[in-house]
Chain A
Amino acid sequence: MAILPAEPLAATAEPVGTPTKRRRSRGEWLRLILLLIGAVVFLFPFYYMVVSALQKAPNPGISGAFPSPSSLSLANFTAINDAINLPRSLLNSIFFTGGVLLGTLVFGMLAGYALAQLHFRGRETIFYLVLLLLVVPFQLLMIPLYVLIARDFGLGDSLLGMILPFAINPTAVFIFRQFFLQLPRDMFDAARIDGASELAVLTQVVMPLTRPAILTALLITFIGPWNEFLWPFLITKKLQLEPLAVALANYISTVAQRTANPYGTILAGAFVLAVPVVILFLIFQRQFVDSAIGSGIKG
C-alpha cells in the first residue's frame, strides 16, 4: 500500500503557483464520488433484498425501497420456511460444506505439506500434473461425473455423492503449499532430529505456526460448496437431501409463481442463504482479500 501513484502525480503536475492543496482535494472528491456510485451499484441490491424480504405485501415501486417500519414483518421468512424447510436445507448445506471442509483440512493439508516440505522423487512432476489437471473445466466433467457417481457408484441422492467432486479443494492445497514453503527449514530439521515423525511435525510444529493460512484456506473452501448449485442440483432428486441453494432454486423455478408474494418469499430465502457468507466475509476480510489475490497470481 506504499505506492500512491495518483496523489503525488496530482500534487506535482500543478503549474507553479497554483494552490496545490485545493486541486488535490478536487481530484480526491472525484475519486470518492466515483467510488460511492460504485458502492451503491454493488450494495443497493442487497439492501433491496433485505427490505423486500421484510415487506408483507409486495411493493415494486420506488417507495417500496424505503418502506415505513409498520409495513415490515417476518411473514416471508415463515412462508419460505413452510415451503422449503429452512432448518433441514440449512443442515444439508452444513453437512455438504462440512464434509468438504473436513476432506480439505485433512487430505489437502497433507498434500500441501508433502508438496512443500517433503523430499521425494517426482514431487515437482506431481505438482505440475496437478496444475495441468485443474485447467479442465468442471462443466466438461459434468456428464462423466454424473455417469460415474450417480450411475456407476450409485451415489445419487447421497451426501457422499454430493461431497465427492469437491472433497479436496485444490486452491486450498495451493494456499497450504505456499505458506508451508515460507517456513524456515531449520525448524523442520530440529523437530526431525528430536525424532518426531512427519505427521507429528505437521500437526505439532507446522499447524500451530500457520493458523492464518489454515483459516484462509478454510474460508475459501467454505464458500464453494455453500454457494454451489449445479452439482448438488444434479445429484439430488430427493427433497430431504437438498442443500439450501438447491432448495431455493427449485422453489424459484417451480413453486414461487403460484404464491401471493413470490419475490418476498424468494428474497427471504436468498437472505438466509447469503447471510452466513457475508458475515464470515465481514469478519475475515483480510483473509478473503489475500486468497483472492493469491489465486489470481496463481492463475
Chain B
Amino acid sequence: MAVAPDTLRSSRSRLRTWFGEQPIGYLFVAPFVLFLVGIYAYPFFFAIFISFYKYIFTAPGAQINQPFAGLSNYTAVLSDPLFHIALRNVLIFLVINVPLTVAVSMILATALNGRIPLRGFFRAAYYIPYITASVAAVGIWLWMFSGSGLVNKILGPLAPNPSWLVNGFWAMPIIAIYVTWKGLGFYILLYLAALQAIPKELYEAAKVDGARRIGAFFAVTVPGLRPATVLVVVVSIITGANFFTEPYLLTGGGGPDNQSVSPVFLIYREGIEQNHPGYAAAIGILLAIGVLVVSGVSRFFLERD
C-alpha cells in the first residue's frame, strides 16, 4: 500500500475525532451492553410480543407457529377474579407497608441520628433482616406464626382462629408486616443519610420560633426528609407489586383459598406451572404499567407543595 505516512496519521486522527480519544472504551463496555440488551432490552420487547400471542413453550431448537391472540390475553387477565384478588392484595400490602415503613424508619433514623451509645450496634441490628435471604427469614416467621407457635402462645385466647397464615383475613397483613420488618433497615439508612443533608440552621430557626423537640420533628425533619420519603414510597410500590417468595412460602402458595396471591405469584403459576406464558406476560405488562402510573402519581402528590 502506497499510502503516505501523514495521510495515514490524518485518517487515524480523523477516526479519533469521530470516535473519541480512547475508542477501546467500546470494547470495554461491549460485554456489559450486550448483557443488558440480552437480559433486559430484548426480553422486555419479547414480553410485549408474547402477551399478544397464545404462546406455546417449545423444546430447545423447535420451530412452531405461535398463534396470534390479539388482546385476548389482556381481556382474560382483566376479567380474571384471581387477578382482581392479586390487585386487592397489592393494595392491602401498600396500605399497611407504606405508612408503617415511612413512620417507623423515619422515627428510628431520627433517634439514631447523633451521639447515642451503641449507635453502631443498633444500625447493624436493623440492617440484618434486610440482608438475610427471604427463604431463611420466612422460615422463622413460619415458625413464630404457626398455629401452635410462639405468637399464639403469647396471645393465648386472643390468637386468631384459624391461625395467622392460614386465615383469609390475616394472611395478607402478615405478609405486609413481614416485608416491612425485613426492609426497614435499608430505609433507616436512607433516612439517616438524608438527615445529614438537613441544614442545622433550620433546627436553630425552629428553636427561635419556640418549637420543642416534637415540634421541630414535624416542622423541620419531616419536610426536610421529603425527597427521601418520595424514594421510600416509590421503592415500596415497586416492592409491593413484585413480592413472590412470601405468598409462595409463607402462606403456602397464595393461600388460604388464594386469599394471598400476588401478581408475580400468578405470573409464575399461570406462566410456568400452567403453561400460559402469553397470559402471564400480559399480567407482567399490566403490572409494569400500573407501577409506573401509581409511582408517578404518588411522586406528583409528594413532591408538590
Contact = CB atoms under 8 A, between A and B. Distances in A.
Interface of A: 1, 3-10, 12-13, 27-28, 31-32, 34-35, 38-39, 41-43, 45-46, 48-49, 52, 60-62, 64-65, 107-108, 110-111, 113-115, 118-121, 123, 126, 129-130, 133-134, 136-148, 151-154, 164-165, 167-168, 170, 173, 198, 223, 226-227, 229-230, 234, 245-246, 248-249, 252-253, 263, 266-267, 269-271, 273-274, 277-278, 281-282, 285, 288-289, 292-293, 296-297, 299
Interface stretch (B5-13, B22-30, B81-89, B167-175): B22-30
Contacts of B41: 133
Task: Determine chain A's interface SS by DSSP, over half rule.
Answer: helix
Contacts of A34: 107-108, 111
Given A48-B144, A110-B31, A114-B25, A293 B190 contact: yes
Interface in B152-201: 152-154, 181, 184-186, 189-190, 192-193, 195-196, 198, 200
25 contacts: A3-B200, A5-B200, A5-B216, A9-B207, A31-B116, A32-B117, A61-B153, A64-B150, A118-B25, A119-B25, A123-B20, A136-B40, A139-B241, A140-B284, A142-B268, A142-B284, A144-B50, A147-B57, A148-B42, A227-B132, A234-B272, A253-B253, A269-B139, A270-B139, A293-B192
A179 B186 CA distance: 22
Interface stretch (B95-103, B121-129, B297-305): B121-129
A138 B135 CA distance: 18
B86 to A, nearest CB: 12
A156 B19 CA distance: 40
Contacts, number: 344
A173 B153 CA distance: 48
Given A253-B249, A274-B133, 9 more contacts: A8-B204, A35-B118, A130-B32, A140-B285, A146-B277, A249-B248, A269-B139, A270-B135, A270-B136
Contact of A5 (B120, B203, B228, B280): B203
B77 interface: no
A60 B148 contact: yes
B207 A13 contact: yes
A114 B28 contact: yes
Contacts of A152: 60
A269 B136 CA distance: 8
Contacts of A137: 238, 241-242, 287-288, 291
Interface of B: 18-26, 28-29, 31-33, 35-36, 39-44, 46-47, 50, 55, 57-61, 104, 107-108, 110-118, 120-129, 131-144, 146, 148-150, 152-154, 181, 184-186, 189-190, 192-193, 195-196, 198, 200, 203-204, 206-207, 211-213, 216, 220-221, 228, 231, 235, 238, 241-242, 244-245, 248-249, 252-253, 263-264, 267-268, 271-272, 277, 280-281, 284-285, 287-288, 291
Contact of B32 (A64, A111, A123, A138): A111
A293 B286 CA distance: 31
B249 A252 contact: yes
A139 B242 contact: yes
A229 B135 contact: yes
B190 A292 contact: yes
B32 A110 contact: yes
A62 to B, nearest CB: 6
A13 B213 contact: yes
A88 to B, nearest CB: 17
Contacts of A273: 133, 135-136
Given A34-B111, A60-B148, A248-B136, A126 B143 contact: no
B108 A38 contact: yes
B29 A263 contact: no
Given A34-B107, A252-B135, A281-B131, A42 B181 contact: yes
B29 A111 contact: yes
